[in-house]
Amino acid sequence: MKNNNQRVLITGAAGFLGSHLCDRFLLEGYQVIGMDNFITGHKDNLDHLSDNENFQFIEHDVTEFVSLDGPLDHILHFASPASPIDYIKIPIQTLKVGSLGTHNLLGLAKAKGARILIASTSEVYGDPLVHPQTENYFGNVNTIGPRGVYDEAKRFQESLSMAYHRVHGLDTRIARIFNTYGPRMRLNDGRVVPAFIGQALRGENLTIFGDGMQTRSFCYVDDLVEGILRLLLSDYTDPVNLGNPDEITIKAFAEEILHRSKSDCKLVYLEMSENDPLQRQPDIGLAKKLLDWQPIIPRNEGIEYTFNYFTALPKEQLLRKEHKDFTARIKQ
C-alpha cells in the first residue's frame, strides 16, 4: 500500500475532526499515531480502530512536553476545544493548547524533521468587516471578549508556526477551517448543527441566538478532510481557507432542520452571545487554484448523513442534555 512507511501524528485524535483524519490517513496507507487527553473528545470516536495494526493511540496532554520514539513524517495539530461553549468554559486550557501545545509540537516537528499542519480557524477573522473572507484580511477580534481566548490562541498559533518556518526553515502548513459538521460531533457540544439536530430529535423548540440573521457557511467533514490532505501534501506555507462557501442565515438553517425532521417544533429566540460574528463565508479561490479543491457534498446531503448518525445513537445519549463536565480533567 502507498505511504506505508510514512508516520503521521494526529493531535486531537479523539475529537470530531481528528478521528475522521485518523480514518482517512489510515485509508491512505499511513502509520497513524493519535494523541488526545479527552478533554472535549471521547474514546468512542476511536473504538473502531482498536484492532488496526497501523494505528497507535497515546493519551497525553500536548501542553506538556511531547516525546515520541522513532521517525515521524507529518504532524497534524488538531488538539483544541472548538465549540464556543467548550472554550468559554475552559478558557485557560484553550489558550494553553494553542500556545504551549503548538510550541511543543513545532519543537517535535523540528527535532524529527517532520512537516506540520496546524488547524487554524475562520475565527482569526473575528466578526469580519470584509465579506467573504479572504486570506489577506487581518480580522476584527476582541482580544478580551469571551471568544478571544480561542481566537487569540489560534492567531498566536499561526504566528508561532510562521516564526518556526522563517527561523528554522520548518515545513509548515496553516489550514483556516470554517464551520465543519458531521458524524461524531458531540450532541451536546453547543455548536449549532448538533444543537439543532438534537433539539429536533427530542421534539424540543430550536434555540436561535439573536434574530437568526447572522450567517454561517457549513462544510461537510469529508470535504474538509480531503482539503486538509491536499494542503498537507502541497508546498504552500501561508494560510489557506478551507470551507464551503454556501452561506445561510441561522434562521433559514433552523427552518431546514425543522423541515428535514418533519417536526412541528418552533423556533425560539434567545439572547445573542457576546461577539458572535454576524457573517461568515470563506473565499476559497486560493484553495481551488492551489489544491484543485472545492467541497462537493451539498448541505442537504451532509445534513442527512449527520441526522442518520445522531438518530442511531443510544436513546440515553440523545436525551442527555447536560454539557460535558471538564472539571476532572483540568490542570490549569
Q: Residue 27 CB, nearest distance to ligand NAD (Å)?
A: 18
Answer for which of 12, 34, 81, 84 binds ligand UDP (CB under 6 A) is 84
Backbone conformation region of residue 126, classed left if phi is above 0, alpha if psi is from -120 to 50, else beta: left
Q: Residue 246 CB, nearest distance to ligand UDP (Å)?
A: 15
Give CA–CA dist 332/325, Å, rounded: 15
Give CA–CA dist 191/177, Å, rounded: 15
Q: Residue 244 CB, nearest distance to ligand UDP (Å)?
A: 13
- With contacts defined by CB under 6 A, how many residues of the chain interact with ligand UDP? 15
Cell digits for 176? 483556516
Give CA–CA dist 274/140, Å, rounded: 14
Give CA–CA dist 43/273, Å, rounded: 31
Per DSSP, which regions of 100-153 are E strands?
115-121
246 closest CA partner among 286, 219, 211:
219
Nearer to ligand UDP, 109 or 257 (CB): 257
Are 52 and 26 contacting, i.e. CB atoms less than 8 angstroms apart? yes
Nearer to ligand UDP, 75 or 153 (CB): 153
Residue tagged active-site, from 150, 164, 181, 220: 150
Q: Is 266 exposed, middle or buried (0-12, 13-18, 19+ CB in 10 A)?
A: exposed
Nearer to ligand NAD, 82 or 174 (CB): 82
Residue 8 binds which entry of ligand NAD, ligand UDP, none, CB below 5-8 Å type-dependent: none
Does 220 participate in catalysis according to the annotation?
no
Task: Write the binding mask 179 to 218 for ligand UDP: x where contact by CB under 6 A, - elsewhere.
Answer: x----------xxx--x-----------xxx----x-x--
Residue 119 binds which entry of ligand UDP, ligand NAD, none, CB below 5-8 Å type-dependent: ligand NAD
Nearer to ligand NAD, 62 or 114 (CB): 62
Answer for which of 22, 49, 76, 97 binds ligand NAD (CB under 6 A) is 97
Task: Write the binding mask 10 to 39 for ligand NAD: x where contact by CB under 6 A, - elsewhere.
Answer: -xx-xxxxx-----------------xxxx
Q: Is 272 exposed, middle or buried (0-12, 13-18, 19+ CB in 10 A)?
A: middle
Are 195 and 218 contacting, i.e. CB atoms less than 8 angstroms apart? no
Parallel/antiparallel/unpaired status of strands 7-11 and 74-77: parallel
Nearer to ligand UDP, 56 or 140 (CB): 140
Q: Residue 273 CB, nearest distance to ligand NAD (Å)?
A: 17
Backbone conformation region of residue 159, classed left if phi is above 0, alpha if psi is from -120 to 50, else beta: alpha
Answer for which of 35, 109, 197, 250 binds ligand UDP (CB under 6 A) is 250
Q: Residue 31 CB, nearest distance to ligand UDP (Å)?
A: 33
Q: Segment 116-175, which members bind ligand NAD (CB under 6 A)?
A: 119, 121
Give CA–CA dist 186/218, Å, rounded: 17
- With contacts defined by CB under 6 A, how many residues of the chain interact with ligand NAD? 28
Task: List the catalytic residues.
Answer: 150
Contact residues toward ligand NAD (CB under 6 A) are: 11-12, 14-18, 36-41, 61-63, 78-82, 97, 101, 119, 121, 177, 179-180
